[in-house]
Structure 1
Amino acid sequence: MTRITIVTDAWYPQVNGVVRSIENTNRELACMGINVSMVTPLDFSSIPCPTYPEIRLSVASFRSVAATIEGTQPSAVHIATEGPLGLAARRWCLKNGMPFSTSYHTRFPEYVAARFPVPIRLLNGFVRWFHNAGNGCMVATASLERELHKLGVKNLLRWSRGIDQTVFHPVALEAKPFDLPRPIFMTVGRVAVEKNLPAFLDLDLPGSKVVIGDGPARADLQRRYPHVLFTGMKTGEDLARAYAQADVFVFPSRTDTFGNTILEALASGVPVAAYPVMGPIDIIEQGSGAGALNEDLRLACLEALTCRREDASRLARRYTWEAASKQFLGNVLKVQGVKALTAR
């Protein structure tokens, strides 16, 4: 039996694209009969991440991380993040001659540079050093693949994303959702500096603005934008119902590598407004009618208002976790020198 050990610094109780991608992939791999073990911060002592206390950074010796990995008896190792656990797992794999794959979920240099005065050049060098030690680096989109190729990252492999349309789907619209006037412009995700939320919140738009999610910037933004509804975090059916009541989903981030929330909104029948940057340009196809991309985010929002909800949900149906998880498994097996399974 194939035994995959996934090492990640991002895990519960965090709610973000990394965690959701891994948990959905794990569910599909289990259906394929693949044994998956997780090595996460829950296995070790941890401390709050500076500037972002909701994220816990593992405080563990190399020996304890190595023992945890060895206890899973892996036939393959995948390292999902570049944090303390990822670094320890990288060292263990190299020390033991274990081929391993990595994935690039977050534009790490931009993420760190937004918080600390570290030169981008040094951070780019770290990305090359970290990922080129492995036998394959998984990326979600063609634009990210091009960016990392220019950066000097090798052995790039495609791993797309999916959407659970039994959870996220169109519903009957309420006349006045959240007790706010329409149109409803909504964004969902971490309320943090890298999400570029003021670019959305500063816009002069009709109707109302709603922010769903939590994070270190929430208190400050709520003070600065008292006319905006901040709901806090929502999950499951509560989140799905909220998505479906929006008229436009606004994605102001310029640093995401994909944007799982874009798929959740589309599956809920909500057109998307975003900048024409990595992530949105890979999902919102020109002429699809599912949304609008523009360097003027206000114009994108107003154009998205004219898009049809049916076109948004139609585009989302192209993305399934089953297909994405087979991509992931094929990549892991390729790294181990095993012929990938054919689709059943």
Structure 2
Amino acid sequence: MSSILIVTDAWHPQINGVVRSLERTAEELEEIGIRVEFLSPQAFKTLPCPTYPEIRLSLTHRGIVGRKIEEFGCEHLHIATEGPLGILAASVARKTGRPFTTSYHTRFPEYVSARLPIPLSWSYSWLRKFHNSASGCMVATRSLEQDLRDRGFQNLMRWSRGVDEQLFRPYEGSVLPADLPRPVFMYVGRVAIEKNIKAFLDLKLNGSKVVVGGGPQLEALRREYPDTHFTGSKVGEDLARHYSDADVFMFPSLTDTFGNVMLEALACGVPVAAYPVMGPLDVIGDTGAGVLSENLQEAAEAALDIPRDHCRMIAMNYTWAASARQFLDNCIAARDIYNGTLARAKAAE
């Protein structure tokens, strides 16, 4: 396989795990000679997503998406998201008989139910139909794979994640205000209701709480928690230095499928405190690089005793090169599955 087109509704200016994962995967694939192209909202007129204006919804139709897919001339089609572009691209692929893969990055039904009174069963029914129409659906962890299989999802393939160990590493010096009391408990990521950040901010912890990131809930939380230090969004080395300045990384989410930010924190030598749910169970588990507990305060306090060098050692088990190779192998396997399905259908005629 020499070329891949990735269709994604999640793209710049968004700063999240999906965008970072796709970018790093593409970089690693190009290093081994695979041409990777992206079809994203940047190619179309867009509207802001209701309640989440940072997400741009593409204004287009199937004919235009189909023409763009043909123009790229890539050997394999991967649909990364279930938004407007992903839906149209899947429709084009089914109509033209083109094999494609999808990936399940976000527990979309749980995110929707946090905002609207829509039953989980309705959302999962639609998602199951969408992903099962592909030759393969890539998932990041064993627990997510089992959860989706129990819900009737098929052709599931593992696609783990990586971390840039050169960028995310322990740094000398502090970037946080000098008068912030220690220890520092830090959250990094989108500031949105589905991230369950209030569960962290409501804790009675000695020291300081820091929130790094932007999102639709940012201003409301600033007003509600004036004693918390909100930095806004950070990128690159500035982001890595903020991680490194923390004593414990807080991951209060109950709905993430993986949590790239946990790997970034660990690579900076920062232990993790989280609930024992999908994502933390897979990344932290029994590694000793964090504490998982239904009592998040106890987890945060216990994590202070974890050696920082052990955290970085655990993070080094994840590389983007291995992640990209896994992604490529899945694309190749999906084409074999598609061709085998076609052969059996012809034989049955």
TM-score by structure 1 length?
A: 0.96
* Deviation of the 1:174 alpha carbon: 4.0
Match of 1:11 in 2: 11
**Contact 2:175 2:242 survives alignment (8 Å):** no
Q: How does 1:19-168 map onto structure 2 within 5 Å? A: 19-168=19-168
User: Could you tell me which amino acid in structure 2 is paired with residue 92 of structure 1?
Assistant: V
SS of match in other structure, 2:144: helix
**Contact 2:210 2:229 survives alignment (8 Å):** yes
Match of 2:198 in 1: 198
Mapped pair 1:330 → 2:329:
yes
* Deviation of the 1:220 alpha carbon: 0.4
2:68, 2:140 → 1: CA distance?
28
Relative to structure 1, the CA distance from residue 27 to residue 226 in structure 2 (aligned partners, 3 Å threshold; closer, same or farther) is same
* Deviation of the 1:178 alpha carbon: 5.2
| CA deviation vs aligned residue, 1:50-83 (integer Å, no higher than 9, x gap) | 0001110001011111111111112110000000
1:179, 1:148 → 2: CA distance?
46
Match of 1:239 in 2: 239
1:116, 1:50 → 2: CA distance?
12
User: Could you tell me which amino acid in structure 2 is paired with residue 180 of structure 1?
Assistant: L
1:197, 1:289 → 2: CA distance?
24
Match of 1:285 in 2: 285
* Deviation of the 1:117 alpha carbon: 2.0
2:174, 2:13 → 1: CA distance?
31
* Deviation of the 1:177 alpha carbon: 5.0
**Contact 2:291 2:300 survives alignment (8 Å):** yes
Relative to structure 1, the CA distance from residue 178 to residue 336 in structure 2 (aligned partners, 3 Å threshold; closer, same or farther) is farther
**Contact 1:173 1:244 survives alignment (8 Å):** no
Match of 1:230 in 2: 230
Match of 2:300 in 1: 301
* Deviation of the 1:285 alpha carbon: 3.0
2:298, 2:96 → 1: CA distance?
54
* Deviation of the 1:3 alpha carbon: 1.4
Q: How does 1:199-278 map onto structure 2 within 5 Å? A: 199-278=199-278
Relative to structure 1, the CA distance from residue 256 to residue 178 in structure 2 (aligned partners, 3 Å threshold; closer, same or farther) is farther
1:119, 1:179 → 2: CA distance?
46
Percent sequence identity over aligned pairs? 56
* Deviation of the 1:172 alpha carbon: 2.6
Relative to structure 1, the CA distance from residue 116 to residue 309 in structure 2 (aligned partners, 3 Å threshold; closer, same or farther) is same
2:230, 2:281 → 1: CA distance?
27
User: Could you tell me which amino acid in structure 1 is paired with residue 289 of structure 2?
Assistant: A
**Contact 1:2 1:35 survives alignment (8 Å):** yes
**Contact 1:177 1:245 survives alignment (8 Å):** no
Mapped pair 1:185 → 2:185:
yes
RMSD: 1.2
1:43, 1:182 → 2: CA distance?
46
SS of match in other structure, 1:231: strand
SS of match in other structure, 1:337: helix
Mapped pair 1:314 → 2:313:
yes
1:75, 1:183 → 2: CA distance?
51
2:141, 2:153 → 1: CA distance?
15
User: Could you tell me which amino acid in structure 2 is paired with residue 235 of structure 1?
Assistant: V
| CA deviation vs aligned residue, 1:227-262 (integer Å, no higher than 9, x gap) | 000000000000001100100000000000000000
**Contact 1:176 1:182 survives alignment (8 Å):** no
| CA deviation vs aligned residue, 1:75-101 (integer Å, no higher than 9, x gap) | 110000000000001001101111110
| CA deviation vs aligned residue, 1:196-215 (integer Å, no higher than 9, x gap) | 00000000001000000000
1:290, 1:173 → 2: CA distance?
23
2:335, 2:272 → 1: CA distance?
39
* Deviation of the 1:119 alpha carbon: 1.4
| CA deviation vs aligned residue, 1:93-145 (integer Å, no higher than 9, x gap) | 10111111000000010011112221111101011110000000000000000
**Contact 1:131 1:153 survives alignment (8 Å):** yes
* Deviation of the 1:176 alpha carbon: 7.0
SS of match in other structure, 2:157: strand
2:176, 2:83 → 1: CA distance?
44
> Which sections of structure 2, spanning at least 5 residues, go unmatched?
338-349
> Which sections of structure 1, spanning at least 5 residues, go unmatched?
339-344
TM-score by structure 2 length?
A: 0.95
| CA deviation vs aligned residue, 1:267-303 (integer Å, no higher than 9, x gap) | 00000000000000001131x3211000000000001
Relative to structure 1, the CA distance from residue 246 to residue 149 in structure 2 (aligned partners, 3 Å threshold; closer, same or farther) is same
User: Could you tell me which amino acid in structure 1 is paired with residue 28 of structure 2?
Assistant: E
SS of match in other structure, 2:336: coil
User: Could you tell me which amino acid in structure 2 is paired with residue 46 of structure 1?
Assistant: T
User: Could you tell me which amino acid in structure 2 is paired with residue 33 of structure 1?
Assistant: G
